[in-house]
């Protein structure tokens, strides 16, 4: 069963035929997500260009009980942007709402529409002499509306926080078609409930974010990036504490990488090489952003590494001598996710645990996984500074890919059980989507789940907004 022609015609009238995609070839890119794990079908992709068009679409959707699946850059990793297999859900693409409405460097603000690509936002901020610090591997294609809807994290959370913390206010279209203008321009506003936080991280289940006021920061006057080889996650944790004592708020990144992850990046990513000649069990990438000067950033990172060597924590290290080299260090880290794909099946985990417990978690989870799947290749890497690890498991060499991936749920359950025992989270930055919906019900308390359902029902009584996601 698919959408009735009469209904398609009514939706098409809102955005025009050119922006109501029905041809299978035109629709196909909207149905392919990065992990190729979530299939879906749709008879219609709508591409509005104004908030008024979004309002008309959602009003009609509520009136006709038509499910709407909001989609940004289609870079999500948990299936939140994908329709189901019925063909009755309509994809609402925000890509044409792509205006930067204003940049206010004096107030450190930028007002952007949901379809603005993250990299374009970063460039607009830099042109105004400011920094927008959200940084993701997919920043060339992901959109700020999707970043907000999933409360994206990235590499700079240690210093600047998640997307939620970078947002002052939002413009949202509710399922009824009503437009909530909550575009706040001040940091201090205690006038009632902070409604934006209901929509940030809601994955399009309560309404559609169409614009936002985002925070900007002064551009750093100096950067320092170091790549260091270590023996263990415990040494990395001690080096993190040392780095924080030297750099304070200037420590803007501290990434942990295992040897096998570096090997995968070097083997499968063009232009990537290991900056160190020797082999080390673990590596860290340290990023310093100085408000004073490049010399200050360099001096800070040298002090961290010097003390790290003296304490026996650092085995070898190198400091980037140019912007190009800084980017090459980061490219190795950012390539680590995709570099696992040529090695076969990979079972993913986006988890967080208290920073101080990371070494214990890795040891316990590794033992559990290897007991279940001898020969599994564990690629545990990520944002050590904020406790977020991408705990990924690549199939054993020579194993059957499908048989390995068939154990996804079993492995997830074991690893997430360990995460919960450490008072951590089963979704640190990717969201819930379809992938973790069942596990959410096993993780959250009955009271929390009941409140979520009541909020959902209150905002979306017709149940049209991204059904089958989150709760």
pLDDT in tens, 210-226: 999 999 999 999 999 99
Rounded (10°) angle between helices 259-268 and 323-334? 110
Quick check: 152 pLDDT over 70? yes
Cβ(166)–Cβ(135) below 8 Å:
no
Backbone φ, ψ for residue 383 (5° rounding):
-90, 80
Q: How many Cβ atoms are within 10 Å of 32's Cβ, its own excluded?
A: 12
DSSP assignment of 171-222:
EEE-TTS-EEEE----S---SS--THHHHTTSTTSS-EEEEEEEE-EEPPSE
- Kindly state the average pLDDT of the residues 93-108: 98
Which pLDDT belongs to residue 37?
Answer: 84
Asked whether 257 and 381 are in contact (CB, 8 A), the reply is yes
Mean pLDDT of 343-362: 97
> Of 392, 383, 389, whose CA–CA distance to 427 is shortest?
389
Note the pLDDT of residue 14. 98
Q: What is the DSSP letter of 191?
A: S
How far is the CA of 281 from the CAs of 24, 107, 131, 284, in angstroms? 48, 45, 34, 11
For residues 179-198, average pLDDT: 95
Distinct helix (H) and strand (E) counts, the chain: 16, 19
Integer Cα distance of 288 and 124 in angstroms: 23
**How confident is the model at residue 443, as a pLDDT?**
87
Q: How far is it, in rounded angstroms, from Cα 160 to Cα 134? A: 8
Q: For 432, phi and psi rounded to 5 degrees?
A: -105, -50
The residues with which 257 forms a beta bridge, in sequence order, are 283
Domains plus CATH for the chain?
A: 5-93 (3.30.43.10), 100-218 (3.30.465.10), 222-335 (3.30.70.2190), 346-422 (3.30.70.2740)
Residue 126 CA to residue 402 CA, distance in Å, equals 45
Q: What is the dihedral of CA 130, 132, 135, 141, to 10 degrees?
A: -100
User: Where does 49-141 have alpha helices with state H?
Assistant: 51-64, 118-127
Spatial CB neighbours of 238, under 8 Å, sequence gap ≥ 6:
311, 313
| CB neighbours of residue 368 within 10 Å | 15
pLDDT tier at 383, thresholds 50, 70, 90: very high
Query: For residues 273 and 247, is the Cβ–Cβ distance under 8 A?
Result: no
The pLDDT assigned to 356 comes to 98
Exposed/middle/buried for residue 36 (C-beta within 10 Å: 0-12, 13-18, 19+): exposed
State the Cα–Cα distance between residues 149 and 70, nearest whole angstrom. 10
Q: How confident is the model at residue 185 (pLDDT cuts 50, 70, 90)?
A: very high
Cα 113 from Cα 95, distance rounded (Å): 9
List the beta bridge partners of residue 397: none
Can you tell me the mean pLDDT for 195-211?
97
Decide: 243 and 251 in contact? Cβ < 8 Å.
Answer: yes
Asked whether 245 and 304 are in contact (CB, 8 A), the reply is no
What are the tokens at 86? 């019925």
- pLDDT of 1: 59
Residue with tokens 């926080």: 161
Task: Give the mean pLDDT of 159-186.
Answer: 97
| Residue whose structure tokens are 């009003």 | 59
pLDDT at 355: 98
Residue 344 backbone class (left: φ over 0; alpha: ψ -120 to 50; beta: rest): left
Tokens of 406: 């068939």
> What are the tens digits of pLDDT across the range 426-445?
999 999 999 899 889 888 99
Average pLDDT over residues 264-285: 96
Residue with tokens 């909020």: 455
| Cβ atoms within 10 Å, residue 18 | 8
Q: For residues 132 and 57, give the distance between their C-alpha atoms in angstroms, rounded to a whole number.
A: 31
Quick one: what percent of the chain has pLDDT higher than 70? 100
- Angle (CA) 17-42-67 rounded to 5° is 95
């Amino acid at each position: 069963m698919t959408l009735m022609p009469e209904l398609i015609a009514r939706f098409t009238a809102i955005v025009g035929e050119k922006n109501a995609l029905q041809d299978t070839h035109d629709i196909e890119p909207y149905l392919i997500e990065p992990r190729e794990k979530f299939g879906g079908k749709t008879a219609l992709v709508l591409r509005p260009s104004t908030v008024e068009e979004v309002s008309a679409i959602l009003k009609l959707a509520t009136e006709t009980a038509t499910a709407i699946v909001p989609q940004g850059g289609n870079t999500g990793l948990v299936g939140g942007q994908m329709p189901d297999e019925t063909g009755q859900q309509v994809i609402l693409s925000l890509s044409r709402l792509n205006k930067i409405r204003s940049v206010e460097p004096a107030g450190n603000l930028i007002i952007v529409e949901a379809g603005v690509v993250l990299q374009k936002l970063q460039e607009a901020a830099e042109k105004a002499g400011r920094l927008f610090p959200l940084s993701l591997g997919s920043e060339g294609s992901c959109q700020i509306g999707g970043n907000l809807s999933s409360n994206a994290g990235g590499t700079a959370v240690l210093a600047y926080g998640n997307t939620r913390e970078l947002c002052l206010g939002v413009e949202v279209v509710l399922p009824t078609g009503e437009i909530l203008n909550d575009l706040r321009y001040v940091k201090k506003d205690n006038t009632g409930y902070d409604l934006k936080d209901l929509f940030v991280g809601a994955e399009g289940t309560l309404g559609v974010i169409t614009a936002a006021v985002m925070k900007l920061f002064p551009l750093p006057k100096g950067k320092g990036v170091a790549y260091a080889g270590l023996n263990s996650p415990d040494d990395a944790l001690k080096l993190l504490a040392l780095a924080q004592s030297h750099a304070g708020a200037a420590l803007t990144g501290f990434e942990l990488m295992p040897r096998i992850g570096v090997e995968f990046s070097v083997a499968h990513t063009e232009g990537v090489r290991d900056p160190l000649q020797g082999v080390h069990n673990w590596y860290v990438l340290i990023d310093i952003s100085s408000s004073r000067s490049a010399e200050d950033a360099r001096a800070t990172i040298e002090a961290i590494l010097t003390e790290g060597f003296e304490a026996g924590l650092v085995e070898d290290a190198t400091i980037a001598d140019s912007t190009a080299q800084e980017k090459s260090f980061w490219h190795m880290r950012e390539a680590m996710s995709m570099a696992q794909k040529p090695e076969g099946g990979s079972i993913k985990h986006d988890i967080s645990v208290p920073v101080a417990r990371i070494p214990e978690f890795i040891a316990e989870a590794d033992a559990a996984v290897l007991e279940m799947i001898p020969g599994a290749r564990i690629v545990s890497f990520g944002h050590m500074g904020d406790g977020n690890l991408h705990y990924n498991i690549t199939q054993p060499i020579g194993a059957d890919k499908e048989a390995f991936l068939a154990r996804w749920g079993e492995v997830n359950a074991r690893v997430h059980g360990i995460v919960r025992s450490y008072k951590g989270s089963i979704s640190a930055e990717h969201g819930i989507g379809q992938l973790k919906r069942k596990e959410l019900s096993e993780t959250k308390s009955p009271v929390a789940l009941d409140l979520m359902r009541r909020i959902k029902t209150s905002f979306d009584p017709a149940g049209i907004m991204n059904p089958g996601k989150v709760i």
